[in-house]
Amino acid sequence: MFSIIQAAGWPIWPLIVCSIIALAIVIERFINLKTSRVAPPRLLEEVLSVSRNSIPSLAVVTQLEKNSALGEVLASGMRAVHADPHCTDEDLRASMEGAGRLVTHRLESYLSTLGTIASAAPLLGLLGTVVGMIEIFGSQAPAGGGGNPAQLAHGISIALYNTAFGLIVAIPSLIFWRYFRGRVDAYLLTLEISAEQLARHIKTMRNSS
């Protein structure tokens, strides 16, 4: 492996850095975008069941807030009711929307970086190709003289290795970026629907009391 890096020359080092960053982001996103951390399947049902007759105590709300991203959004609505039992439906929704924006920011963390790597890696590979071509042309002696075979081979190695490595970094980065982007969008839709259901539930509970 080290011999390949040596043959590829200095242009491959930025690509190696990009590959390490991309791998770290992919691992981090897989851990933090687990369903159990973001939107546990039965959490909304449990919240609606617990708050069937009244809003749970602040201790229960705090526990819900620490449960997951969805729990944080739902807990923000309950905190709004605790702070002002007569708050309007608009205030209740605004509170959950504010929490939702914070959650959205966390869910989208590092995705722009991963997307940038997916876009930049082929360009870095192209840079290595250009450097390799310069090496190739530099190996050609003036008319009437022989070329330098070692320098010619080195230039070809730089061009091919960097082109290949740029694609090796870019293709998985793009695939994972699209995968995580779709996953986040699905979670955001779940959070939005769940918040709306809780708002309607609280409104119905108030009207019946």
76: its two tokens: 């923000």
What is the reported pLDDT for 168?
A: 93
Per the prediction, the chain carries an average pLDDT of 87
- Cα–Cα distance, 176 to 96 (Å, whole number): 29
Higher-confidence residue of 178 and 163: namely: 178
Q: What is the DSSP string of the chain?
A: -HHHHHHH-TTHHHHHHHHHHHHHHHHHHHHHT-HHHH--TTHHHHHHHHTSSSPPPHHHHHHHHHH-HHHHHHHHHHHHHHH-TT--HHHHHHHHHHHHHHHHHHHTTTHHHHHHHHHHHHHHHHHHHHHHHHHHHHTSPSTTS---HHHHHHHHHHHHHHHHHHHHHHHHHHHHHHHHHHHHHHHHHHHHHHHHHHHHHHHHHHHH-
Could you list the residue range(s) of the whole structural domain that residue 203 is in?
2-208
Confidence at 2, pLDDT banded by 50, 70, 90: low
Confidence at 157, pLDDT banded by 50, 70, 90: confident
- Cα–Cα distance, 167 to 51 (Å, whole number): 53
Q: Report how many domains make up the chain.
A: 1
What is the reported pLDDT for 129?
A: 84
Q: For residues 30-56, give the mean pLDDT.
A: 91
Phi, psi of 174 (to 5 degrees): -65, -40
